[in-house]
Amino acid sequence: MGIFDKVREVAADAKAKREAEQKALRDAEETRARHAQEVREAALRQAQTTCPLPVTPDSRALPGGLQLFPDEFVVSVGKDWGWSSQKLTLTTHRIIYSRGRLAKDQESVYLTDIRDIKFHKPLLGFGTLLLETAGGHSVEGLPAASNGQSIRDKLLQMTHYARQRAAVPQQVVQQVTAPQPDRYEQLKRAAELKDQGVLTADEFEAEKRRILDQG
C-alpha cells in the first residue's frame, strides 16, 4: 500500500468515526427530546385530572422570557380576567406578575409559599389583591380588578391544589423516567469513546460538561 493510499485510509477512518459520533449525539438528543415530551404529556394528563381549574396544554410563552417547568402548565392570564394586558399569569406552580406598566420585569411567587390571599374593595374604584406568603411577607401592588373576589377564590383553589400536590409523592414522572446511569459510568463511557478515537478532545470536554451539568 502506497503512502497516498494510507493517507486516504486514515482520512476515511477519521471521517467514519466523526459520522458515527455525530449520529450518536443526534440519537441521544432525539432520545432526550422524546423522553421530555413523554414526561410532559404524562404530567399534563395528571394535571387535567387533578387540577381544580382547566389547564392550557400548549407551552405558551410567559411574560419576561420566563420558561415553564416540565410539569407546569398555564391556568389563566390577565386577559382571561378582563385586564387589557398580561400583567398576571397563573400556572399550576406559580403566580407571575408585573407591577409596572411594561410587562418586562416579572416576579413570581410559588403557590406553595402562599398562606393567604386577601381582597380589598374600596368605596370607589377597583379592588386589590394581597398575597401573604411564608415568613410573614406580603405581595402588594397586583393589578386592580373589578372581579377581584372571584379571582381571589380561584387563586385560593390553586394554592390548596399546590399544597396537596406537594404533600403527595408524584409518581407520574417517576413512572415515565427511565433509569439513568450515574455520572461516573457516563464519564467512564465518554473517556472510552475518546480513547477509541470516536470523540475528539473538544467533544469529550463538551460531553463531560453536559454530564456534570445534569446534577
Same domain for 68 and 124? yes
List the one residue out of 37, 14, 34 whose CA is nearest residue 26: 34
Same domain for 202 and 99? no
Rg (CA), the chain: 25
State residue 79's pLDDT score: 67
State residue 108's pLDDT score: 86
Same domain for 157 and 128? yes
State residue 114's pLDDT score: 92
| E strands in 44-150 | 74-77, 88-91, 94-97, 107-110, 114-120, 128-133, 138-139
Same domain for 78 and 121? yes
State residue 156's pLDDT score: 92
State residue 160's pLDDT score: 93
Same domain for 187 and 204? yes
Same domain for 138 and 56? yes
Same domain for 89 and 152? yes
State residue 146's pLDDT score: 67
Same domain for 143 and 104? yes
Interstrand relation of 114-120 and 107-110 (parallel, antiparallel or unpaired): unpaired
Same domain for 120 and 154? yes
Question: How many structural domains are present in the chain?
Answer: 2
Q: Residues 6 or more apart from 109 whose CB is under 8 A from it?
A: 94, 95, 97, 131, 133, 139
State residue 143's pLDDT score: 65
CATH code (residue 169)? 2.30.29.30
Same domain for 166 and 186? no
101 in a structural domain: yes
1 in a structural domain: no
Domain that holds residue 60: 49-173
Last residue of a domain, one of 141, 158, 173: 173
Walk across the sheet containing 138-139 and list its strands: 114-120, 128-133, 138-139
75 in a structural domain: yes
State residue 182's pLDDT score: 63
State residue 170's pLDDT score: 55
135 in a structural domain: yes
List the one residue out of 78, 62, 63 whose CA is nearest residue 148: 78
195 in a structural domain: yes
State residue 1's pLDDT score: 58
Which stretches of the chain drop beneath a pLDDT of 70? 1, 4, 7, 78-86, 99-105, 141, 143-146, 169-184, 198, 214-215
State residue 93's pLDDT score: 94
84 in a structural domain: yes
Same domain for 189 and 155? no
